[in-house]
Structure 1
Amino acid sequence: MSENWLSHKSIVIIGGTTGLGFSAAKAMVNHGASVVVVGRNPENCLIAELNLGSSARAMQGDATHSQTSLAAIQLCIREFGSFDGLYHVAGGTGRQFGEGSLHKLTLESWNKALDLNLTSLMLSNQAAVQTFLGMNKGGTILNMGSVLGHAPSSDLFSDHAYATAKSAVIGFSKSIAATYAKNNIRVNVLAPGVIENSESENSDLHQLIPEKQILDGGRFTQNQDLDGSAVYFMSDYSKFSTGQVLAIDGGWSVTDRNHF
């Protein structure tokens, strides 16, 4: 990739102070973009801004609050003079509230999972579309899905609320892509494989991943695995693509090893 793929682009990343979002922010800055990253933790916001340099601003905020994304977009316009793209990464599971298989699922965890993964995304996408329309310009939106939204695993990933939300991300994104294509607003989805984190400390999972995500020797998805695709969808090289779902899952979607 040329380092100028995102030259003169100003991008907001919701959930951009840690993990997938922060990795993407670094890649986008390296490719010439100015970015505003949003996160809930003030310390992470400070660390992100210091690490990203003068082409970045960090804003503390909760993506499930109605004004957070709009405030981030307005900050982007004030600081960098434009708003060209939104990357929504923020999400999470409702496990601490009782998420799991349907027969054990609590209403609190169901609502929490939908709030974290779907309501927050609707709010950020709405703010982006309203801004693009108000500026009478096109732009690009990239949403975070999951391989579990379209290729579930029966034994180890029975978080039905999370899978529902990530599946809905695809339907929502395709729907708004169809509606706003005439306005040159593009909407696409990245669907990563399983990422190793504090919730993946499971011996069965560590056995399953090399058999499902078989590329590169068989491993968990890493944050940087999504960086190139995120840069592509934020760039003009993807200007004729909308309503697409790109799985970055090491082969999970095409392997047949779903359970033990």
Structure 2
Amino acid sequence: MPDQIDLRGRVGVVTGASRGIGAAVAEALARSGMNLVLGGHRHAETLEAFGHELARTHGVKVSCHAGDMADPATANALAKLAFSGHRQLDLWVNNAGLLVDGSIGMISDADVQKTLAVNLAGTIHGVQQAARLMQRGQGGSIVNLTSIMGRFGSAGLLAYSASKAGVIGATLSAAKELAPKKIRVNAIAPGFIATDMAKGLSEEKLAQRLSSIGMGRIGTALDVANAILFLASDMSSYVTGQVIGVDGAMVV
């Protein structure tokens, strides 16, 4: 799919781009010719180095901003970079997120507030900024990262599942409101993906997760990035308000 999609001349924002799914998405978009504004909370130097490498390798323009998506000022700063550097915005990927597990009754209020602030409020901040910029042009595509846990829940992930379910609700509402303005809003719901979050699992937990996947393998960040490439392109010009699972037929 990446070789068939040409995004030259377009501009995209990707949050949580310093590692994992966000980095894979940024790489795939740059490879397709899209100019980028990358956001990341920690590892500012790593993010800048990654941006420089993407620009050098793929001949695209890349700018970076380090900030916490829980703070609306971060989304505002990313939007300003897109406007000042390109005067347009075609894609915004709300990927930044965190996972805090814990049994019911044992989850701290701080963990609840932080999870909702980053995963849900951060997504809403991104949607609002993206919509403002895209209305200046010919519309665009907003992609929100939810999770299979946001669709079906999971024991031990109450706050995380709730935050990701909220992302689905926000996606569906935004899609309805923004459709007349030619702004498409969709969500990607990954299943078990090989990221840093998966590396901490015990062998027993890993085997249990793998046994629940119909395709018999863990997903990759590129699997998710390819789905986002589709939503970034004109191939999805009539697709909005959808929650697309990238889970290999995972059962939870």
TM-score in terms of structure 2 length: 0.90
In the alignment of these two chains, the number of paired residues is 244
- Contact 2:190–2:246, Cα closer than 8 Å, also in 1: yes
Q: CA RMSD of the aligned region, Å? A: 1.7
User: What is the match of residue 129 of structure 2?
Assistant: 127
Q: Is the counterpart of residue 201 in structure 1 residue 201 in structure 2?
A: yes
1:225 alignment partner in structure 2: 223
Q: Is the 1:13–1:36 Cα contact (8 Å) retained in structure 2?
A: yes
SS at 1:15 equivalent: coil
**8 Å contact from structure 1 (residues 210, 219) kept in 2:** yes
- Structure 1 residues 93-117: Cα deviation after superposition (integer angstroms, max 9, x where no partner): 2x3xxx4122222221111110110
Structure 1 unmatched runs, 5+ = none
Aligned residue number for residue 112 of structure 1: 114
Q: Which residue in 1 is equivalent to 2:185?
A: 187
Q: Are 1:51 and 2:53 counterparts?
A: yes
**What's the CA shift string for 1:31-62, capped at 9, x where partnerless?**
11111111122122222112211412222222
After TM superposition, the structure 1 = structure 2 runs for residues 17-56 of structure 1, keeping only pairs within 5 Å, are: 17-40=18-41, 41-53=43-55, 54-55=59-60, 56=62
CA contact (8 A) 1:178 1:243 kept: yes
Does the residue aligned with 2:21 lie in a helix, a strand or coil?
helix
* Amino acid in structure 1 at the alignment position of 2:77: A
Q: Is the 8 A contact 2:5 2:229 kept in 1?
A: no
What residue is the counterpart of 1:177 in the other structure?
Answer: 175
Counterparts of 2:125 and 2:87, CA distance in 1: 22
Superposed displacement of residue 242, structure 1: 0.4
Equivalent residues in 2 for 1:208-219 (5 A)?
Answer: 208-215=208-215, 218-219=216-217
Task: Decide whether the 8 Å contact of 2:12 with 2:89 is kept in 1.
Answer: yes
- Aligned residue in 2 for 1:147: 148
Pair 1:25–1:184, CA change in 2 (3 A): same
The letter of the residue matching 1:11 is G
Q: Is the 8 A contact 1:21 1:89 kept in 2?
A: yes
- Aligned partner of 1:229: which letter? A
The CA distance in 2 between the partners of 1:16 and 1:183, in whole Å, is: 27
Deviations 1:3-43 (A, max 9, x none): 54312210010111211111111111111111111112212
Identity of aligned residues (%): 27
Conservation of the 8 A alpha-carbon contact between 1:48 and 1:58: no
Deviations 1:68-101 (A, max 9, x none): 12221221232234211100100002x3xxx412
Q: 2:93 aligns with which of 87, 93, 113?
A: 87
* Contact residue 154 and residue 161 of structure 2 kept, 8 A: no
Q: CA deviation at 1:209?
A: 2.0
Corresponding residue of 1:14: 15
- Of residues 196-205 and 243-252 in structure 1, the stretch that sits farther from structure 2 once superposed is 196-205
Write the distance in 1 (CA, Å) between the matches of 2:176 and 2:191. 26
Q: Which amino acid counterpart does residue 38 of structure 1 have in structure 2?
A: G
* Deviation, structure 1 residue 150: 1.1
d(CA) in 2 for partners of 1:65 and 1:213?
36
Secondary structure at 1:150's aligned position in 2?
A: helix
TM-score w.r.t. length of structure 1: 0.88
Q: Which residue of 2 aligns with 1:166?
A: 164
Structure 2 contact 92–142 (Cα < 8 Å) conserved: yes
